[in-house]
Structure 1
Amino acid sequence: MPQKFSQTDRTIRSDFKQSFKTISEASHAPGIIYSDPEVFKMEKDRLFLNDWLLVGRLEELSNPGDYMTWTIAGEPIIITKTENHELKAFYNMCAHRGVQVADGQGNTKTFKCPYHGWVYDLSGKLLGAAYMERVEGFDPNSCSLAALPIDTWAGNIFISFNRNADPLEEFLGEFTKEFQSLRPEACRLANKIELELDCNWKFVTENLMDMYHVGVLHAGSFGARFSWKEEDVHLKARGEFYMQYSAGPPTPNAEPLLGKMPWLEDQPESYASTGFLAPNLTIFGRIDCVRIFTIWPQSAKLSKVVIYHLFPEEFFSFPEFTETLKVYRDYQIKVIEEDRTMIESLQRGVESRGFVPGRMSTLETPIHNYLQGYLNRMFPS
């Protein structure tokens, strides 16, 4: 079915003309894309219900019966591991009236609807539905939990709401090669940080690729050790990019408190890389760890950030490992709180009648590319 376009589509496309100019002539995006509920709804349909999305790590579902629940752009899901060690993803909705059959995370043998008691096994099959035996034509085999595509890459779990999605490997493309030297599949989840920010999700995404602000806002944390070259920034379609640069480990004194990752022993302590995969995934590589950021829109003006800190398996047996992880966690939160002040101010700014998008700096090339990729996917001509 051809995609329908509203007056909002045409208006935004027109307002974006300045963002489509070359970086030396371009301006930032109009405020409507960061605050308008109609745009937020379109993002859900055109991006988040279409792409593959990283929702967790294999270590979070290590045993049969382990499960976790998510709400993504208003859509409730369950991810679980079956008795046969298969990963499954479903809409978290009973086939009877749509009540959620699981909450939070844990371990279970079955999922039971708390409203009318329908019971499902870990593969989503309906096992029992009380008082339905006399219902004419009722077929339990047609009442399974609605399954969703699920796959993994390098220890990371991805799901898609698009049952006709391209294979995950095809969707990831060059992303897998760019980060294979970090070997995230040989790492384990050490810290998982979740927080909310009072701003549009794109402001968080843009901030993670904004090299312009690092030396100013983060001058007292990691900004003084941060350097990069324009030729090391590789721009890609869909607004994606990859780059290698110099930065210390994510600790207060920029020291690898647990040592280098074994497979990066030949790299300097300043080794750093980052990349963005649409619509909401950013990876940061350092000499001692891998950090994964996923940004989840809760509303047009509220975002949830989930951060995964991954360390090599062998680090987990080090003395005082748990105490050291707290240093990494606390430092991460410090940096995020520095960013919070600015990106929440950005949100207030775009909602003002006086807001006019300013000119871009040539240091904002990744953001320039991101906005063009975003526009082409959201509001194609």
Structure 2
Amino acid sequence: MTCAAKTDGRCTQTPQAFVWSGKPLGQARSAPASFYTSQEVFQAEVNQIHLKHWIFIGRTDQVAEPNSYLAVDTVGGPVLLTRDQNGELHAFANYCRHRGAQLVEGCGRRQRLVCPYHAWGFGLDGRLLRAPGMEDVPGFDLDKESLIPIRMAEWAGNVFVNYDDSAPDLMTHLGGFPALFASHKVEDMRWVFGVEIPAACNWKMLLENAMETYHTGIVHARTVGAQTSMTFDGEENWAAIQVQSTMTTAVLDKSAPAPFPQIASLDEQAKKGTYFTLLHPTTQFVFAQDCMWWLAVRPVAPDRSVLSVGGCFPKDYVALPNFQELAQPYFTRWESVAKEDVGILERQQKGVSSVLFKPGLLSSRDDVVHTMGEWIRQRIGTAIYNDPF
């Protein structure tokens, strides 16, 4: 899909009941067990996908002030996002150049980053400023021992890193993705919420689950309840569905008006529901009528992942004196629903580990699940996946 029809730079693509590719409905099946359990497959995914594509690590406003930092774990190791004293944004490998100790955890502000092992000190621009005990080392040069930079790019306040310097740039990877959600004005939003949830399941399960509404009336019967969705054509590196509801899906109580109004700039399609998206390989951005949140998945092992959930609101909402009180129902929904999903996916992980597991037929509501599996199969180069599912 290309957003050929645009208004003021906005995509006017219309979703449909479902979009199918690969084997036709009635023949397509879920992936084989090894797709979720094999160390060989997992390592191929790390090498051929995760270390070659853009990884979402957070928002620029999480490091809004000079001399601020944010430490993030990725499949390629710990990353440090900083804003130096001049206001410039950087991404570095989060380890000391001496013997590799992780420099910092969490987030904060400080003039310099001091290694907790041997007290080497680095500026927020990555320069080595001080290396006590190295004065007698012949040829030691502070300027040659700076932190290792990581390729970084930004879209609408969202920051990504890439371990492959030869990979296409971020905007090429995104394609028409930004245009579809332009009316939400994500660049004017502010980060307000974050939580990390360990998950004893394969990373793909978390994202497959996030891109179908088949399960919502069952797994989330007491929270979000049953949902219906429409599917966009998408492009090579992203997919999107829209849950049809004129009211935000970001709160659980539908008996009262939402705490916040709809974003004033929304186009007509955006007013019809909430966009649930998959930005390959590991990020879901959700664009509701009044906010944006994300699920970012970090693969750890074939049967272990970490799910990071974060949320943003328009800056005008965040400035309200009673913002925290108004936003609490959103925070509750984001965390509680994510934990419900993790619970069922941990049971799925146990199920596919059975020596008797056989892939089941997919439903029409599994269309993005099928598309995602094909996207991965085509890239990991493992012979067992030469044939479509």
Distance across 2 between alignment mates of 1:26 and 1:102: 47
Q: Tell me how far 1:365 sits from its aligned partner.
A: 0.7
Distance across 2 between alignment mates of 1:103 and 1:338: 28
Higher helix residue share: 1
Distance across 2 between alignment mates of 1:332 and 1:140: 45
Q: Are the counterparts in 2 of residues 181 and 263 from structure 1 also a CA contact under 8 Å? A: yes
Q: Tell me how far 1:20 sits from its aligned partner.
A: 5.2
Q: Tell me how far 1:74 sits from its aligned partner.
A: 5.4
Q: Are the counterparts in 1 of residues 76 and 163 from structure 2 also a CA contact under 8 Å? A: no
Report 1:197-236 matches (<5 A). Answer: 197-224=199-226, 226-229=227-230, 232-236=231-235
Instruction: Encode CA deviations 1:91-129: one digit per residue, 9 max, x unaligned.
Output: 112222112222222111112222222222111111222
After superposition, the CA RMSD in angstroms is 2.1
SS in 1 for 2:213: coil
SS in 1 for 2:229: coil
Q: Tell me how far 1:214 sits from its aligned partner.
A: 2.4
SS in 1 for 2:377: helix
> Which residue does the alignment assign to 2:355?
353
> Which residue does the alignment assign to 1:243?
241
> What residue ranges of structure 1 are gaps of 5+ in the alignment?
1-18
- Large movers: runs of 4+ above 4 Å: 265-270
Q: Are the counterparts in 2 of residues 256 and 287 from structure 1 also a CA contact under 8 Å? A: no
Q: Are the counterparts in 2 of residues 235 and 366 from structure 1 also a CA contact under 8 Å? A: no
Instruction: Encode CA deviations 1:297-322: one digit per residue, 9 max, x unaligned.
Output: 12221221112221111112335321
> Which residue does the alignment assign to 2:69?
67
Q: Are the counterparts in 1 of residues 232 and 239 from structure 2 also a CA contact under 8 Å? A: yes
Report 1:223-372 matches (<5 A). Answer: 223-224=225-226, 226-229=227-230, 232-238=231-237, 240-247=238-245, 248-249=247-248, 250-254=250-254, 255-264=257-266, 270-372=272-374
Q: Are the counterparts in 2 of residues 235 and 369 from structure 1 also a CA contact under 8 Å? A: no
Q: Tell me how far 1:90 sits from its aligned partner.
A: 0.8
> Which residue does the alignment assign to 2:94?
92
Distance across 2 between alignment mates of 1:246 and 1:181: 17
User: What amino acid is aligned across from residue 105 of structure 2 in structure 1?
Assistant: D
Distance across 2 between alignment mates of 1:363 and 1:198: 25
TM-score by length of 1: 0.88
Instruction: Encode CA deviations 1:203-261: one digit per residue, 9 max, x unaligned.
Output: 0000001222223333443334x3234xx4314324x3123341342212234211111
SS in 2 for 1:309: strand
> What residue ranges of structure 2 are gaps of 5+ in the alignment?
1-20
> Which residue does the alignment assign to 2:380?
378
Distance across 2 between alignment mates of 1:102 and 1:222: 37
> Which residue does the alignment assign to 2:104?
102
Instruction: Encode CA deviations 1:143-185: one digit per residue, 9 max, x unaligned.
Output: 1111111121111111112233322111211111122121111
SS in 2 for 1:234: coil
Distance across 2 between alignment mates of 1:111 and 1:341: 38
